[in-house]
Amino acid sequence: MPVSLYMLMCLHDPAHGYYATRPAFNVDFTTAPETSQVFGELLGLWAAHEWMAMGSPSPFWLIELGPGRGVMMADMLRAGRAVPGFIEAAQVTLIEASPALREEQSERLSDYTITHSDSLDAVPAGPCIIIGNEFLDCMAVRQFVRDGNGWRERQIGFSGANRLAFGIGPSAELPSNVLPVGDHVEVAPALETFVESVARRFRHDPGRALLVDYGPDDRSPGDTLRAYRQGAQVDPLADPGACDLTADVDFGRLGRICASEGLAVHGPMQQGYFLTRLGAWERTRALAAANPERADEITAAVTRLVAPEDMGALFKAVCLAPVAAAAPPGF
Ligand code: SAH
């Protein structure tokens, strides 16, 4: 089978898939909103700023893609209360594949009226702000290997009785919006569908989509499929369905797809710069002053998000917007 089908089955199989059965936050992996509340708070204020830039539409859709445990939305909404009218206007809807995580999100956000939606297309028309942290890296990727002047698709199958192995399939065409460097390239077909869906919304109503994720900004990823279990990187073929699988995001291709759909892209901007420009250190100092017994811990967590040798340079923020909109804060 193609690598993309393997990834889809491992993550989303309703009986045995990772997200259906055992997404283990803070065990298999830790994300930015799980590291510091400052992350979600700054994104909440970012969203409120863009809501005002859109003319403060009421109501509007506040859509989160892959909200995990719901921590980021809780931090966003708490911070968003500082902006009059924002919370009252926000119709929060969460797009989440995992039934277990949907339940946890509903509990954590029980002070607010929220709904779940099956996909972006399922959210009714209207102005919207879309946010997603570590959502695009979950998209299933096809892998291609150079063969002379052409390409072949990498596949996964059995080698021996019970062992999975990579192999090379028939020759295949690369999509035109991929710019490979080297002999391996990864392509997430769903990235195209996703941007088309955002573009369709923004053609009729004002909107912004802010995505934070990891990946190179200047070339298409090669072989970056990775599996994580209990904080360690493991063999992606060793225990299908038991590990989180991810791949780098191709920000260059994302930009090219947006251009062909008539959308502007701001960024990719390194997370460290993005958060610093949004006021990460001002907020950290205020939090530390209010909680002196936790000041070191609070500062260390934000340092992890911002420092280039930690998450600050690897992670990037991009904003998809209608071309006429002014550059959003942080870019
Ligand atoms: N944003 C959260 C979680 C990131 S993990 C955080 O930063 O902590 C990825 C999230 O996306 C999980 O909640 C996972 O269940 C969800 N997810 C992955 N693929 C999805 C899909 N195709 N549709 C909806 N949700 C998906």
Whose C-alpha lies nearest to ligand 1, atom 3?
Answer: 68
From the CA of 244, give the closest atom in ligand 1.
5
Please state, in angstroms and rounded to a whole number, the distance separating the CA atoms of residues 146 and 179: 13
Average pLDDT in the 67-80 region?
Answer: 97
Residue 25 pLDDT: 72
CA of 172 to the centre of ligand 1 (A): 30
Q: Which of 8, 135, 137 to mutate to test the pocket of ligand 1 (most atoms within 8 A of CB)?
A: 135
CA of 5 to the centre of ligand 1 (A): 18
Question: Which one is predicted more confidently, 87 or 218?
Answer: 87
Residue 143 pLDDT: 97
98 lines ligand 1 (CB under 6 A): yes
Please state, in angstroms and rounded to a whole number, the distance separating the CA atoms of residues 255 and 290: 41
Cβ atoms of 196 and 189 within 8 Å: the answer is no
190 lines ligand 1 (CB under 6 A): no
Contacts of 59 (CB under 8 A, 6+ apart): 89, 90, 91, 126
Average pLDDT in the 139-164 region?
Answer: 93
pLDDT at 140 over 70: yes
133 lines ligand 1 (CB under 6 A): yes
Work out the mean pLDDT of the chain and round it to a whole number: 95
pLDDT at 2 over 70: yes
Q: Crossing angle for the helix pair 37-53 and 71-80, nearest 10 degrees?
A: 50
Q: Which of 13, 96, 105, 137 to mutate to test the pocket of ligand 1 (most atoms within 8 A of CB)?
A: 96
Instruction: Write the pLDDT tens digit of every residue in 201-240.
Output: 999 999 999 999 999 887 888 999 999 998 899 999 999 9
Instruction: Write the pLDDT tens digit of every residue in 88-115.
Output: 999 999 999 999 899 999 999 999 999 9
Question: Which one is predicted more confidently, 216 or 257?
Answer: 257
Q: What is the 3-state secondary structure (H, E, C) of 166-186?
A: EEEEEEECCCCCCCCCCCEEE
Residue 316 pLDDT: 98
Q: What's the whole-model pTM score?
A: 0.97
Q: In what order do the strands lie in the sheet with 232-234?
A: 232-234, 226-229, 244-246
Cβ atoms of 48 and 123 within 8 Å: the answer is no
CA of 138 to the centre of ligand 1 (A): 7
Quote the distance between the C-alpha of residue 103 and its chain's center. Answer: 20
Residue 22 pLDDT: 67
95 lines ligand 1 (CB under 6 A): yes
Residue 12 pLDDT: 92
Report residue 252 as tokens.
């260059």
Residue 218 pLDDT: 77
From the CA of 25, give the closest atom in ligand 1.
8
Report residue 30 as tokens.
């830790």
134 lines ligand 1 (CB under 6 A): yes
Average pLDDT in the 124-138 region?
Answer: 97
- Strands 150-158 and 142-147, sheet pairing: antiparallel
All domains in the chain, ordered by first residue: 1-20+142-187+221-247 (no CATH), 31-138+189-215+250-324 (3.40.50.150)
Please state, in angstroms and rounded to a whole number, the distance separating the CA atoms of residues 201 and 199: 5
Residue 28 pLDDT: 77
Residue 185 pLDDT: 95
CA of 15 to the centre of ligand 1 (A): 17
Confidence label for 259 from pLDDT (cuts 50, 70 and 90) = very high
Whose C-alpha lies nearest to ligand 1, atom 17?
Answer: 66
